[in-house]
Chains A and B, each alone.
Chain A
Amino acid sequence: MKWFSNFGFQRRNRELQEEIDAHLQMAIADRVARGETAEAARQAAVREFGNIPLVQDVTRQMWGGGWFEQIGRDVRYALRQLRKSPGFTITATAMLAVAICANSTVFSWIDGTMLRPIPGARDTDDLVSLQRGERNFSPTPPFSYLDYRDLREQNHTFTGILAYHHDWITLTGGALPERAYIANVSANYFDVLGIKPVLGRFFLPEEESRPVPNVVLGYSLWKTRYAADPAIVGKSIEIARHPVTVIGVAPEGVVGAMPGIREDLWVTLDPLGTDVWRMTHRSGGAVWLNVIGRLRPGVSRGQAAQDLDTVMHNIVAAFPDDHLGDNRITLDPMWRSPFGANGYMAATLPILLAFAAVVLLLTSANVATLTLVRFVSRRRELAIRQSLGANRIQLVRQMVLEGVVLSIVAGAVALVLTSWTSKTFAWFFPANSNPLILNGSMDHKVVIGIAVSSLLAGMLCGALPAWRSAHAPAIEVLKAESASISGGSRNRKLLSGLVVAQIALSLPLLVCSGLFLRTLRNLAGANPGFEQDHILTASVGLNIAGYSHDEEQVIRHKILDRVSALPGVKVASLTDWIPMTLGHKGDDAYPEGYVPHPHESLQVYHAEVAPRYFESLHIPILEGREFTPDDDEKAPRVLIVDQTAARRYWPGQDPLGKKLRIWGGLFTVVGVARNSTHIFVNESPEPIVYMSFFQVGYETIVQVKTEGNPVDLAPAVENAIHEIDTRLPVFDVRPMRESTQMASSFAVVQSALAGMFALIGLVLAVTGIYGVVAYRTQMRTHEIGVRMALGASRVDVLRLVLLQGLWLTGIGMALGLAFALGLTRFIARLLYGIGANDPVTIVSVVMLLGAMSLLACYFPAHRAMRRNPVTAIREL
């Protein structure tokens, strides 16, 4: 091997070869002198000398020398041994590569999301996201600007606190309008994140709340829309038909502060001076900011939370009417921040990584079994080496090295595979209306992860068998020929232990994947409370394209008229929210006459919907009425509540006619709608209030109930809207069924991966038990021959072998069951419609594993049974 050679080593090697050649030459010369023919003499001399490579090998070990040479020798030896059995080498490498890849893939997803929550930011470990009030799985922005400013200025535990709010906007002014995700940010946004501009500057503190129309461009937007113009700073661009000045460009890869969401450009909180109300109030629609803080060095999250709670307490005391309900502050590290994608990631990915680790353990046990069997058949060679002076440590080292060489190759293969699989994460997320940028990443952390897991696996599958085999006393092995190779009781115990371990590890994998698969089926089969089929939705970017409010209202009516008239459309309506798309709107609502419990959150979900919304989605109105075209801006404000809201705020009363204060305005309840799913099928019901679209609607989503396949109607709907005004941005035109898939995407990730891992586990466990039973049966061929010769029937033989295998399976399954019952508690939160210890799942998994094991044991048993006792006895 070239890599390990150096001058001294090569010279000594050459000399050793010459020395042995000389020895042989002299031996031959002596024999020829005694009268043997040249050929016979040569053969005899070589035979007498013995195994030349082995002699060279052992002699080389005497040279000692640097560790480098020793390792070089051991690696060469390991490679030679592995080359000798390509079947084993390829199988073991492939299995290890798959198992390592399973780990590194999940880890690369964790790395790309939870460990890199804010790309481009400095020291994200010091960043925490702030949440006010009740903890919630998908919270809405929790702070008003004034509250945020007070927290920022009065705390003692943060070096900086930033705030932002983001939404879609239309970039106008170019050849084609383009939709981009824009963020309103506090002036210190980039400072707190620790990001420096590549061009120009970021915002100044005095610009924060004043109407200064400055914009910072994201790197990719600058490249694509503005052709990476190096002189862009100072130029004016158009956003929603308003001129703004570019003051800087963010570095490549910077996509904003919300994990998993891509922001394209940034402006200050009120760049046009149009949001004065929002900047000067503390409740209702003025609660719009997400807040992230950077802890001072040495400050713990707990201390910081206490500090902020004190400040918040003072704010609440000063402005009690704006802060009804729960105002406690909780802090989350960014890797599990509930704002953005990481809340979902943190609930899913670590569990999948644990599964992958089990797969790796299982694979290591399987490869260890193969290695052990291989070592047992190499015992004679090992014993010779030992008798020639190799000590036990050397032997163990060499054999461990074989495992390590295997796992390094497997790690390299896994590295190549992972560079591809890490990017498959994005596949799990259907097209949706959020600028999601979820994907795995392949950086040094993943490479280190692969290295660590492959080395661990290598040690596991090399060290265990090696230690056992190296304990074999040399003399005994040399004396006893192949008959005793079956390996003594210690090896038998280790083999059995490994098989039991494989079954015990695969059972929980199977149980969990079974539970996940059934959860997925339950989710798909669950009734969300509204009709998803034959519904097409299309977003119209009215609010982001720079139309005046009056223009918007006119266009909305026109859209409704034109789309309703399209052939194939049964019902057309407008809304500003689509359920089960991970998003929702929430605001504090104050029901008249309702006294909240201490710390009760008064936040309600809300949606603004036009007439016939409930009709198109088949959501029954249980009491009162649906919205009508008369519920417009001139009419009194009205709303429809769902059953949860009605029961919570007016238990035992008639909710009709009751009043609710939202955004400072009073709304009268005119109807009660049946409960339906808001975000997840398995959510706990949260109150929702529906408001009239033509009174308070903001975003415009056209919702159409079609006669046939909704996809077929998409072009017609788009055309109808563009006929009103060709500049109207229309996007996210897709069937509702497709949008709502977002709600189950994490369930799909879970069940897809868990299913894959369980399948690998099943195959490994079954091949593992097959291998061991087959091997041990083969070793007992002689014994079985004797038994049959002494009158044992074929059925006896079958039973003998089967029992042996089933005994192992039984122990493994008992252990695995205990393991599984302990483990399923951790996934209980992710299940739907099924208990964590669902007996049907467990029984079917046990039966599946049992049946597969039985089959795996049956083949060797059958083979043993069919043996001719006479030949079996002869075979040693």
Chain B
Amino acid sequence: MNEKDQYKNRIELLQGTLDMLILQTLQWGPQHGYGIVQALRLQSGDVLQVETGSLYPALHRLERQSWVQSEWKQSESKQKARYYRITAKGKKQLATDLGRWERIVEAIGSVMYVKPKESES
């Protein structure tokens, strides 16, 4: 799969879902920005490609809201990087986000599966 195709298969993230995805990723332990991108891509089977232009502003915003904390650490490959860790407040937020996400999926699902599909190319 070349880069162009990757780009095409990318799904635009709904506003607000990126925060939830980041917090979810950090559930597994502290991670740096690059690691979060990789984790999201792997876990979504190459479908979710987070743009750095969205990721870093989101990380810094989350830190300002005290949902994550950051510290500088050496990575396994001796690369000094900024690691983000989810806070207790962040975990609470994640639970709220998740609840809301499930309601949305349910609501959209109920709409989509009851109505007959109209024209589809």
Contact = CB atoms under 8 A, between A and B. Distances in A.
24 contacts: A16-B56, A18-B80, A19-B33, A23-B34, A23-B81, A26-B34, A26-B75, A26-B77, A26-B79, A26-B81, A29-B79, A30-B38, A49-B52, A50-B53, A54-B53, A55-B52, A55-B53, A58-B53, A59-B56, A62-B57, A62-B61, A62-B64, A388-B54, A389-B57
Interface in B77-102: 77, 79-82
A29 B53 contact: no
A388 B52 contact: no
A97 B57 CA distance: 39
Contacts, number: 71
A388 B82 contact: no
B56 to A, nearest CB: 5
Nearest to A55: B53
Contacts of B51: 50
Contacts of B103: none
Contact size class for B?
20 to 34
Interface of A: 15-16, 18-20, 22-23, 25-27, 29-30, 44, 48-51, 54-55, 58-59, 61-64, 384, 388-389
A388 B53 contact: yes
Contacts of B75: 26
B55 to A, nearest CB: 9
Contacts of B77: 26, 29
**Which of B38, B52, B75 counts the most A-chain CB atoms under 10 A from its CB?**
B52
Contacts of A59: 56-57, 60
A29 B53 CA distance: 21
Nearest to A26: B34
Contacts of A29: 77, 79
B53 A22 contact: no
A58 B34 CA distance: 18
Contact of A22 (B38, B52, B79): B79
B72 to A, nearest CB: 8
Given A23-B33, A55-B52, 5 more contacts: A18-B82, A23-B34, A26-B75, A26-B77, A26-B79
Nearest to A65: B64
Interface SS of A by simple majority: helix
Nearest to A29: B77
Contact of A58 (B33, B38, B57, B80): B57
Interface SS of B by simple majority: helix
B64 A64 contact: yes
**Which of A19, A29, A54, A384 counts the most B-chain CB atoms under 10 A from its CB?**
A19
Contacts of A22: 32-34, 79-82
A389 B52 CA distance: 13
Contacts of B3: 44, 48
A29 B80 CA distance: 13
Interface of B: 3, 32-35, 38, 51-54, 56-58, 60-61, 64, 75, 77, 79-82
**Which of A23, A30, A48, A54 counts the most B-chain CB atoms under 10 A from its CB?**
A23
Given A22-B81, A26-B34, A64-B64, A50 B52 contact: yes
Contact of B57 (A20, A23, A48, A388): A388
Contacts of B60: 59, 62-63
B53 A25 contact: no
A63 B64 contact: yes
A759 B45 CA distance: 68
B22 to A, nearest CB: 13
Contacts of B32: 19, 22-23, 26
Given A25-B79, A26-B34, A50-B51, A19 B56 contact: yes
Contacts of A63: 60, 64
A43 to B, nearest CB: 12
A19 B81 contact: yes
A110 B81 CA distance: 64
Nearest first, the 3 closest Cβ-Cβ pairs linking A and B are A62-B60, A22-B81, A62-B61
Contacts of A15: 82
B56 A27 contact: no
Contact of B56 (A25, A26, A30, A55): A55
A184 B34 CA distance: 90
A27 B34 contact: yes
A9 B42 CA distance: 35
Contacts of B82: 15, 18-19, 22
Contacts of B80: 18, 22
B6 to A, nearest CB: 10
Contact of B53 (A19, A30, A51): A51
A25 B80 CA distance: 10
A60 B34 CA distance: 18
A16 B51 CA distance: 16
Contacts of A51: 53
A797 B33 CA distance: 56
A20 B61 CA distance: 16
Contacts of A49: 52
